[in-house]
Structure 1
Amino acid sequence: MRDAPLAFVTAMAALGDVTRHDADGEPVYMLNRPDLARYVLKENGTNYTKDRTPDDDMLRPLLGNGLLTSNGAEWAAQRRMCAPAFRPSEVTRFDQVIVEAAEHLARQWRGAASVRVDHDLTALTLTVIVKAMLGTDIGGAGEGFGRAVDAVNRFIGHYVPTDDPDPADTAARYAGFQRARAFLDRVTRVIIAARRTGGAGDDLLSALLAEAHPGGTGHGAPAMTDAELRDQVLTIIMAGHETTAKSLTWTLYLLDRHPEAAAAVRAEIDEVLRGRAPSAADLPALRRCRQAVQEAMRLYPPVWLISRRSVAADVIDGYDIPAGSLVCISPWVLHRDPRFWDEPEAYRPERFDPEAVARHLSHQYLPFGGGPRICLGRHFAMVEATLVLAVLLRDLRMELAEGFPVEPEALVTLRPRHGMTMTPRPR
């Protein structure tokens, strides 16, 4: 599991819909069917917590007790507090923030011999989430933020709960993690301090600051401390940019590898935009752009493994699940199961035509998780990815650098192990 996690979960799924293996002295149950995923994430979700799971162990050292790591009533109060900012009607207000950032990136790429697509898209999505949700422009901190995220992933993505076979490597990664966490903390605190000085605005950070003010809470929780505010803001920043950046990176790679799909996307962009900048009003017509991203998230789901721990004993598909057991679901496996996807290894964006989606089983497609804890920012992510893709491919054709190795690496998110270097060509 540590050496080749994607191969391991794929091999386990070949053994059955419910499998068990032992890891670090405890049993781990893997569920490899959509209805079983639905049962754990939704139907009996109250019996399955994120507390003391690998997800929790990896994320909590950085994010503290924010929306991704909290549980129970505390999580529910945090979710209620953040949810209004991510409603679809609210998200479309930020279309120009997204388009301006994408136009800026397109200008940077135009004429460049080669670009690190993964790094540049990370900087773009970071800029967008901070401006849209926190009302702040982080300026030159974006590049440093991207490097810090890489350092964090290298450490927490290789989380080893027992004795590490290579202590020197772990020590080096931990030192990098500590430096990265300190940098992310500084950026987060500067954002909070700047907004406190500048006054309230119409964004999520203003709502969080109101919660931190004595007597300002209205969501079933006591007023937020400075530490809790830091955890929530950093969670929003990290969750709101990393997965979208990786989804766009994989989309550009797959479109380069599949010229027919790329031609369909470009033809749609030409017909809808006719050379102008897109807006939220164009989203319904940018169907192929949206589907190109959806299919990329099927083949390369940003979150490749979802873990939960059973609160009480349960029975799943006839198998006893003792209390306290670790139960895992892999979107990587579910998204590539030939029982539910025709030619699952092929990149076919038309799978997400409305009539095809209507035939999907519940929890067959889990790029944003499922059940009550489904990603709060999923609408924001799809609006952002669709508009960014439309801007970039309106004027550019992205080609993978000759001989560049592309290999998925399953850390906290599913990333290209060697990054993604591409050459922008004018259309």
Structure 2
Amino acid sequence: MTPATSPVRVPLVTRPMGIWASLQTSRRNVLGIIPEIATRQPMVSGRTGKRWHMVMDPEAIRRMLLEQLDIYPKSLVTKNLLRPAIGDSLFIAEGAHWRWQRRAAAPVFSHRNVMNLGPVMTAAAERSCERIAAAGPRAIDMAADMVRTTFDVIADVTFSGDGSFDAGAVHNAINDYIGEAGKISLFDILGFPDWVPRPGRIMSGGAVNQMKRIADQAVEARRARGPQGVPDLLDLLLDGEDPETERRMNTAELRDNLLTFIVAGHETTALSLGWALYLCAFDQQVQDRARTQAQEVLQGRAATAGDIEHLPLIRQIIDEALRLYPPAGIISRTAMAEDTLCGREVHKRDTVMIPIYALHRNHLLWDDPDAFRPERFADRKAIPRYAFLPFGDGPRICIGASFAIQEAVIVLATLLSRFRFTPVAGRDPDPVMILTLRPEGGVWLEAEPMTPATSGAMASPT
């Protein structure tokens, strides 16, 4: 078998699909509804039950996410899908309700607070190395291990491991909900009103309600107990206050935002790391260069937050993984007024999508867009700002972006400094998006420990 020249990609549709074909395709892989032409055009429009547009032009995207934010709120489909699980948290809320929550939560993710959480990330990277070493020579699903690693981090930084909250049960409940409710309903494609129930979201609500009750109890227990030691995310949120109104989050608001951070705060980072490891195994030359850099900086110890500025290639690999496999492959908006994008009329209530997967592979914006080339990010100023959107942009850019990048660089640098990862024949992952772009089938790699003579592995931190 001839080795692939490019990493795995989603086969995009080359001819129009009707409602039934669109439903079947989207329930298996949402990205399958993106037309191939979207990787070669600034904007594509059509009608599948209701009128829609896909926008890949950076200036038009800037208008949607920055200049005319109120015209393009999150789509009704997105809100209906997620609100039962995470309420009117930062991810869902709009207008004044979103603005005050954002002002209250922003200090939680300040540079200092994120740096203070670095030791938790370093410790999780060490535990991942121990699991990989203990597995011996057999292949390992690194996607699954990265989920465990990043979940260790979010559980520790959210609740300081105090045992007051079963974070694993919360994660499983939300995953179960998304597994059923997250699949696009035929009602969504046909544009049925919001009040028409979506069956999957009704059937999966019981576990979510139980999860919310547990989370409420944990918030109230912490409110009564107060912080102990270095403040964790819950302490910081409890202390958070809108500087304009002096408003603080009540228990329900704290709970909804915590649930959002727990899921989003580890899912997206785990996916980025899983795909980054797949890409490093795909291109051994890039992996070797990255390992050399990591070993020179780390000298056998695990990476820390203070090392990140000295690991530019590791960061470039993370960015390129986010370009090729963005966790949120499509973001959807509902136009609330008449507008014009790329010279084309957009009508009120039209669905306007930014297919980030197609944007990141658009031939008008990227050279050889399907190729794995981390050096694209050596000069970030050369990349149009709204051509690369792994965390969104504008006022609603992901509040935890710096947290995610710090964690991903710490973990990837530590792993590459200690192991050589090689692919398992016939076990390539399949990029499939339901709510996030996951490597279906796992990322199965063989991990060869680097000897102390070449890596200085397992040396004590300095």
Give the structure-1-normalised TM-score.
0.88
Distance in 1 between residues matched to 2:399 and 2:372, nearest whole Å: 27
Structure 2 partner of 1:167: none
Distance in 1 between residues matched to 2:147 and 2:214, nearest whole Å: 16
Gap regions ≥5 residues in structure 2? 1-21, 190-197, 451-462
Give CA deviations for 1:60-114 in whole Å, capped at 9, x if unaligned. Answer: 1211110100000110111111111112232111111100011012111213134
Identity percentage of aligned residues: 34
2:40 and 2:362 in contact (8 A); partners too: no
> Deviation of residue 322 (structure 1)?
1.4
| Residues 122, 148 of structure 1: alpha-carbon distance in 2 compared, 3 angstrom cutoff | farther
Q: Which 4+ stretches in 1 moved above 6 angstroms?
A: 170-174
| Residues 228, 146 of structure 1: alpha-carbon distance in 2 compared, 3 angstrom cutoff | closer
1:210 and 1:217 in contact (8 A); partners too: no
| Residues 184, 257 of structure 1: alpha-carbon distance in 2 compared, 3 angstrom cutoff | farther
1:43 and 2:67 matched = yes
> Deviation of residue 126 (structure 1)?
2.2
Structure 1 partner of 2:119: 96
Give CA deviations for 1:312-339 in whole Å, capped at 9, x if unaligned. Answer: 2111122221122221101101110122
2:88 and 2:256 in contact (8 A); partners too: yes
Counterpart residue identity of residue 89, structure 2: G
Which of 263, 286, 291 pairs up with 1:238? 263
Counterpart residue identity of residue 251, structure 1: A
Structure 1 partner of 2:4: none
Distance in 2 between residues matched to 1:35 and 1:253, nearest whole Å: 32
2:58 and 2:384 in contact (8 A); partners too: yes
Structure 2 partner of 1:31: 55
Counterpart residue identity of residue 302, structure 1: P
Question: Pairwise mapping of residues 290-329 of structure 1 onto structure 2 (< 5 A)?
Answer: 290-329=315-354
Q: SS in structure 2 opposite 1:358?
A: helix
1:115 and 2:131 matched = no
Gap regions ≥5 residues in structure 1? 165-169
Question: Pairwise mapping of residues 28-427 of structure 1 onto structure 2 (< 5 A)?
Answer: 28-50=52-74, 52-112=75-135, 113-137=138-162, 141=166, 144=169, 147-162=172-187, 175=203, 177-178=204-205, 180-182=207-209, 184-185=211-212, 188-189=215-216, 191-200=218-227, 202-210=231-239, 218=243, 220=245, 223-354=248-379, 357-427=380-450
Q: Choose 80-89 or 7-16, whichever is displaced more.
A: 7-16
Distance in 2 between residues matched to 1:408 and 1:194, nearest whole Å: 41
Distance in 1 between residues matched to 2:80 and 2:255, nearest whole Å: 19
Distance in 1 between residues matched to 2:200 and 2:272, nearest whole Å: 29
Q: SS in structure 2 opposite 1:49?
A: coil
> Deviation of residue 416 (structure 1)?
1.2
| Residues 110, 378 of structure 1: alpha-carbon distance in 2 compared, 3 angstrom cutoff | same
Structure 1 partner of 2:45: 20
| Residues 85, 224 of structure 1: alpha-carbon distance in 2 compared, 3 angstrom cutoff | closer
Structure 1 partner of 2:30: 5
Distance in 1 between residues matched to 2:164 and 2:219, nearest whole Å: 15
Distance in 2 between residues matched to 1:388 and 1:191, nearest whole Å: 29
Count of residue pairs the alignment pairs up: 414
| Residues 110, 284 of structure 1: alpha-carbon distance in 2 compared, 3 angstrom cutoff | same
| Residues 400, 193 of structure 1: alpha-carbon distance in 2 compared, 3 angstrom cutoff | farther
Give the structure-2-normalised TM-score.
0.82
Distance in 1 between residues matched to 2:188 and 2:355, nearest whole Å: 26
1:127 and 1:142 in contact (8 A); partners too: no
1:18 and 1:32 in contact (8 A); partners too: yes
> Deviation of residue 204 (structure 1)?
3.5
